[in-house]
Amino acid sequence: MKKATKKEILEIHQLFIDKYSDAVTELEYKNAYELVIAVSLSAQCTDKRVNILTPKLFEKYPNTHELANANIADVKALINTCSFFNNKAKNIIAMAKRVEEVYNGEIPMDAKELITLGGVGQKTANVVMIEYTGANLMAVDTHVFRVSHRLGLSDDKTATATEATLVKKFKNNLHALHQGMVLFGRYICTAKNPKCEECFLTEFCKTTKTFKV
């Protein structure tokens, strides 16, 4: 598969910024605590589904103190329509406990410290930082992975390697690029039957093959 040229990378960068400079996550949250949970739950689960189940979860457990002392069966019952809910229930309680014990109930706004929380990997930490602080970071989910491969920006086999490649190639405005690539992949450059007639990047497209990470 052909790779995007330096000129094409600059043009792709600009087009994404022009179209998605104000883009934000579609996850609904009111504070950093709610955001960390929403992002954690969204792994391999749609934002739409997460937004349906989080209001009751946040109502019952409005902060890390309440969640740290939660009954795991109750938490599971509230999120059982989410994929991998057993594991996610365990993780968000562990996250709350650590935030209570180590960070006085305040979510740390530092990617390295976020990664120490239950269920928070590099991608989740970066998404939280991008969304909450506008940090110049990239996070690669299935949409970003697929879009970056279809546009010839990356031929990496893993999300982590793809993230490093995109950071190197794009350098700045990474938060807007991340949000833009997610929305573009979700609504236009879809895995099956991409909406090529609605695409503003057709001249840069290298393939419509489905890429999975």
Task: Give the catalytic positions in this structure.
Answer: 123, 141
Q: What residues have CB less than 8 Å from 211, skipping those under 6 apart? A: 145, 146, 149, 150
Q: Is residue 116 a contact partner of residue 95, using CB atoms and an 8 Å limit? A: no
The Cα–Cα gap between 153 and 4 comes to 6
The Cα–Cα gap between 144 and 131 comes to 16
Query: Residue 157 has which token pair?
Result: 């086999």
Query: Residue 32 has which token pair?
Result: 């950093």
Q: How many CB atoms lie within 10 A of CB 6?
A: 8
The Cα–Cα gap between 210 and 121 comes to 25
